[in-house]
Every structure is written in C-alpha cells, then in structure tokens.
Amino acid sequence: MGFRLAELVERLGGQLVGDPELFVTGIAPLTDAGASHISFLSNSKFREQAGQSQAAALIVSANDDAAVAETYRGARIVVKNPYAYFARAAQMFEAQTAYVRPAGVHPTAWVDPAAKVDPSAHIGPKVVVEAGAVIGPGAVIDAGCYIGREAEIGEGTHFFANVTFHARCVIGKRGIIHSGAVIGTDGFGFANEGGVYVRIPQVGRVVMGDDVDIGSNTCVDRGALADTIIEDGVKLDNLIQIAHNIQIGAHTAMAACVGIAGSTKIGKYCTFGGAAMVVGHINIGDKVNISGGALVSRSISEPGVYSGSYPIAKHSDWEKSAVIVRNLPTMREKLRTLEKTIKTKTEDEES
C-alpha cells in the first residue's frame, strides 16, 4: 500500500522535484524515515536533520528547499505549508488501511422506533438511541454511546466508544467526538436565595457545525435559554470544559485542560494553549492567541498573542496591586525623568 509521488502531487498539489514514479509506503519523522518513506520539514531549525534524512522524499517549503538541497539527495515536494500538506498526505495513507465498518445497527444496540437512522450509518453494540434522533448517512456510532431524543448527527460523523450526546443536541457533517466526551449536559446554573441555591433549568441546546473535533472527556454544556454554539472547524482537545451559552467561532482550536466560563463569546481563528482559563461574560475577538496557563479576565478585541496570570490574593489587595502594576510604565518614565534632572543638577553644581 502506498502512493507514487505523482499521485500525491495530483491530489494535493505542490511542485515535485525528482522522480514522479517514486513509490512511498508511508510517512515517518525525519530521523526515522527510511528509503520507502516520505517525511516533512515544517520547522527551519531542523534543516540539518532534513539534509541527513534517509527518507525517499521530503515535503518542504521553498525557503527550506533551497537550504537542504545541497545535502539531501532525495525527491522533494515544494509547498507553501509543509505541515498542512503532511496532514493531508497522512489522511490519504490512513484511508488505505482504515477499517470500514459495515452499515447497519448492531443487534445489541437499542434504537427507539421514532429515531431516524440512515441505512448507510453504522451503530455498534450496546448503543442507546432515543426517540426522534436523526443520524445521517455514513455516520459511525461506536460501542456504549448514548444519543438523546431528537438529537441530530450529520453525515459521516464518528462517535467513538462511550460518547454521551444529550437530547436535541446537533452536530454537522464529518465531525469526530472521542471517547468519554459529554455533549449537552446541564450548564452550571443556580440562583442564590438566602444562601440556598435554586436550580435554573437548562433548556437550550448544543449546536455544532461541520468538521468539529471533540477530544476525550471534554464536556460541552447546553445553554440555559439560548444555545451553546460551536461553529465549523473548531478543534477541542481532551479534558476541556465549555460552559453554557458560550459561542466559539469557526476554526478556533483549544489545547487540553482549557476552561471557558459561561456566556463568553470567542471569535474565529483563535488558539488557546493548554490550561488557559477564561472568565465568563466577556468577548474575545477574531485571531486572538492565548498562551498556555494564561488567565483571561477581560474582553480582548485586538488580534495578537496574550500571556500571563496573577497570583491569587485577597480581592482588595489584588485590586491595589493590579493598579500598581498597570501604572508601572508611567512610574518608570517619571523615575527616568527624575534621574535625568538629578544628574543635570549635580553636573551643574560640580561645574
């Protein structure tokens, strides 16, 4: 199993330098690749490794190609984004060996008679599908999943084992939800009355677009009144908490252990590093990049990279410290001005 380089270029594009009939059987890292592999260089600091690689072919950018051509003697596919090209090539190799599940419903699965399951869908063993659920063509539902009433699952979407997808939740086409994820549980909504918490019914939904990936043990809460919205192409890693009424814009990605508090609106093409935390009821604009471990405590409208947090303290002390920190640039300029004044006066007195 594998591909000729000409086939890869025909499917994915790029400029081929070398033998188009060269056959590669898989993708491997620069240091591990052998004579039947294709590898990739997406970070220029690994040019030396690329030059010494035993791979039959490399996926490289134009700048890196010029740098490694002197030492690397294999074929090269020159592209704008080697990492994305690698991802698409890897999908092609994966498709050659992927297990194709037979269409139909496993005899141990329970599907409510009112549910709508496309004949081409695959429902594995011990799956519960409640009334009114709609499962699109080519969907794959693995063992132990629960799909609530009136839920909608789009074409080609794959639920791995033990996914819980609660009532009326929606996911579009080609989605992937990994094992242990819970979609549509109640949001954390309580009203305090004299020190006693009164539960607020959570009657909204979770509505997800196409090409959404949800990692293992990630939780996405349903909205209290309106819906929690996750737009097309969003990628959520493992162990993430998305609270109720959050909106996440298209093609935003979050690494593991991120926590987003309720009613926050996040724009398109954002990234969140691992364990970043975001308070509720704020807005984050498009193309904002939050570093790992950062605490976002206010709205952000300007694109860019944001980092940092602040040690916990009594709130009154924290407010005083925050004011001081915020004024440090002004204080620094005043000190510099004062130093210049003292220096000038000293020089005048000495002269």
**Catalytic positions, written as ranges:** 244
Instruction: Say how many CA atoms lie within 13 Å of 99 toward its Cβ.
Output: 5
> How far is residue 239 CA from its own chain's centroid?
12
One DSSP character per residue, 77-138 reads EE-S-HHHHHHHHHHHHHHHH---PPSEE-TT-EE-TT-EE-TT-EE-TT-EE-TT-EE-TT
Ordered alpha helix ranges (H), the chain: 5-12, 47-52, 62-68, 82-97, 315-350
| Cα separations in angstroms, 226 against 66, 104, 138, 185, 204 | 54, 35, 30, 14, 5
Q: Edge-to-edge strand order for the sheet containing 57-60?
A: 15-17, 75-78, 57-60, 37-40, 26-27
Bridge partners, residue 283, by sequence: 265
The b-or-e profile of 79-99 (16+ CB within 10 A means b, else e) is beebeebbeebeeebeeeeee
- Give 88's contacts (C-beta < 8 A, 6+ positions apart): 12
Strand 206-208 and strand 241-242: pairing? unpaired
* d(C-alpha 216, C-alpha 218), whole Å: 6
* d(C-alpha 242, C-alpha 246), whole Å: 7
Give phi and psi for 197, each to the nearest 5.
-90, 130
Using left for φ > 0, alpha for ψ between -120 and 50, and beta otherwise, residue 281 falls in left
